[in-house]
Structure formats: C-alpha cells, structure tokens
Amino acid sequence: MHSDAFDRYHHKHSLIHQLDPRIKVLITVAFIISNALLPDGAWVAFLLAWGFVLVANVLSQLGIGYTFRRSFIALPFALAAITVLFSIPGKPIGSFQFLMWDMTVTDAGLLRFVSIVIRSWLSVQMAILLVAVTEFPKIVHALTHLRVPAVITMIISFLYRYLFVLTDEVMRLLRARQARSAASPGQRSGGSLGWRARIAGHMAGQLFLRSYERSDRIYNAMLARGYKGELMTIHPHHFERRDWIICVLCIVGMIIMQWTGRI
C-alpha cells in the first residue's frame, strides 16, 4: 500500500523551477503580504496581481490556468470573513431575516468582503504555485536557511515525511475494518451508530498509539546516528545572477501594484 496523494510538485525544467528555493519562498511571502496591504476596492491593482500570478504560471510551464483551477479549494475559508458584510457601517443595499436577527448588507461591507475574497484567492494561487514548482524538502531547506526557527522546520519536515506513513497506516486500519464488516444473510449489518462511533474511536486510539511508538523508534534511530538535540542540514543552494534579476523584477512588480492600488 502506498499513498502519495499529498505530493503537489510537478517536475519541469522551467525558469521558475530552476530558481533558488529561497527566492521562491521569499517572493511568495512578499506577494501575500503585498496583497494583504492593498486597499479595499483596488481593482486595477488586484488585476495586476492576478496578471503577476498568470505570468508566473506561464513561466513555470504549468499552463496559464493551473493555479486558477486549483484555487477554489480555498474559497470556503473566505466565508470566515462573511460577517464583514453586515458589520461595516455604510449605505444599506439589502436586508433579510436570519432566525431572530435582521441582517443588513452595506455597500462598504460588500466592498470589504469582495476585496478579502480576492486577496485570499490571489494569495492561495501563489502558494499553490510555490508547492507545484518547488519540491517540498527544498521549501523546508529554504525556510531553514531563511532563519525560520529549527523547531518549526523540523516539525514541518517530519510532518511531510510521516504524513504518508500515517496515511498508509490509516488505510490499513480501514481496510482491516472493511474486511471484517460482514453480514449474515437476512440480518441487518453495521451495528448501531454508537457502536460504530466506538469502533472509530478505537481506531483513532490505535493510530495514536502506533504513531507514539513510532516516534520513539524514530528518535532512537536519530540518536543512533549521532543526533544531539540540534538538527544539522547541508547548504546545497547558491544564488545566481538569474535569481537576483527575478527577485528585483518581482519586487518592482509589487511596488507597482501597491502604487496602483493607492492612486
């Protein structure tokens, strides 16, 4: 059994793929911050930011609509901002009754809500592009060499390595349950909801115990190879002229976005 459903890297030889991972992480973070700083209703700037994402898509040889197609997964999270529709003071543009409350949507609230959705949608597209053009271990390297605390990069690194192992473990548990979920002829099978919930609880407990024991074995394996509490990594990346040029171009692009958003 083998699970690699979480791998989002697409192997290509594009300009973007070949960039130093530190540059890619930095540009992605800078782009997300730049989006967050754009004022509400800065439509031209939003359009420019989207153009930026589309150009990055094309340069990475993934196809112009690559990130667009995958970005809708993040939209439900934008619903967390739905309260701004009703909470920002402004000109009422519609109202409805929700349970015992009168909900009034204001023009300022709608503007803020749409801007938040666009900002998060653009940011998610850039993050999707980052993991599509950079192998995950290289992102972790980049974070390490950008001075992100070692404990965080270690947790991310172990999470990535063992997510696959744990998923396989879950699949094995589910398969074992499925294999024994039999029914006698004429009998209703499956048990009561409470019974099924208890079984699911046992499985979660089982998974926790297995993971806990595994963590012990992994720690032993690390100790056996000289781990003394500090994780050492090699520094395989070097900035090239190309990296600096792309970095400067992107920063200029973001400055133009900010300027456009404020005129």
Partner 1 sequence: MEVMEYNGDIVKVSDLHFAYPDEHVALRGISFNLCEGEKVALVGPNGAGKSTLMLQLNGILDGRGAIEIGGLHLTRDNLPVIRSMVGLVFQNPDDQLFSPTVFEDVAFGPLHMGLPEEEVYARVDAALEAVRMSAYRDRLSHHLSVGEKKRIAIATVLSMHPKILILDEPSAGLDPRARRTLINLLRDLPITMLISTHDMRLVQELFPRTIVMDGGRIVADGLTKEILEDEAFLKEHGLEKP
Enumerate binding residues for partner 1 (CB under 8 A).
2, 4, 7, 135-137, 140, 157-158, 160-162, 164-165, 214, 217-218, 220-228, 232-235
Q: Cα–Cα distance between 82 and 94 in angstroms, integer?
A: 15
Say how far apart CA 199 and CA 205 lie, in whole Å: 10
Q: CB 161 → partner 1: shortest distance, Å?
A: 5
**Least CB distance from residue 8 to partner 1, whole Å?**
13
> Which one, 7 or 107, has the nearer CB to partner 1?
7
As measured in angstroms, the least distance from the Cβ of 177 to partner 1 is 22
Distance in Å, CB of 159 to partner 1, minimum: 10
CB of 165 to partner 1, least distance (A): 5
Residue nearer to partner 1 on the CB measure, 47 or 152:
152
Q: Which is nearer to partner 1, 182 or 234 (CB)?
A: 234
Q: Where are the beta strands (DSSP E) in the chain?
A: 92-98, 101-106
User: For partner 1, which is the closer residue by CB, 119 or 138?
Assistant: 138
Sorted by sequence, the CB contacts under 8 Å of residue 109 that are 6+ apart come out as 84, 85, 86, 87, 88, 90
Residue 150 CB, shortest distance to partner 1, in Å, is 13
Is-contact 69 54, C-beta < 8 A?
A: no
CA distance 39 to 216: 50
For partner 1, the closer CB: 183 or 224:
224
Q: How far is Cα 137 from Cα 156, in angstroms, rounded to an integer? A: 10
Which is closer to partner 1, CB of 181 or CB of 215? 215
Give φ, ψ of 193 to 5 degrees. Answer: -60, -40
Residues constituting the chain: 263
CA distance 7 to 20: 20
